[in-house]
Structure 1
Amino acid sequence: MFYVYLLACRDNTLYCGYTNNLEKRLSAHNSGRGAKYTKSRLPVRLVYSEAYEDKSDALKRECAVKKLKKSQKLKLIEQQNSGRL
């Protein structure tokens, strides 16, 4: 599986990424070995994720999510969290 994810950073910004191992990637971010962007904004927490079977689909979705405004990303997070209740 491939994942598109959003992280909430310490400074209230959001980071969007892609991975094939969500737990390992989150651990890498929080240990300072993740993206340069998150390195100075630790700790980060996973707030949103989508799973894809196809790498190409995941990368296309990552690109689309990165183009969203912060308010739209927050809506995605809210929608996913309300679906888990």
Structure 2
Amino acid sequence: MEISGIISAIVIGIIIGLLGRLVVPGRQHIGVLWTIAVGIVAALLGSAIAAGLGVADTKGVDWIEWLIQIALAAVGVAAVDRAKVRA
């Protein structure tokens, strides 16, 4: 992976993490860095899942890939929030 790919993955991860956090109802007790980390992981996993399903490379915007990534980020934010509340 080239440096531009890493930088774009981080930027997309930030956006995905923030959108995932907006999807989860209520207040989350995790910081911005956790949100970014969850977003990056969700973006990478979502891209892999979308590629596996064959919906990653379409003409125009890959809406299904974005929805998968945002859903994974929402699940990740909720999971990290619950783990931090219990700890």
Q: State the TM-score, normalized to the length of structure 1.
A: 0.26
Larger radius of gyration, structure 1 or 2? Answer: 2
Q: Which has the higher helix share?
A: 2
Q: Which has the higher strand share?
A: 1
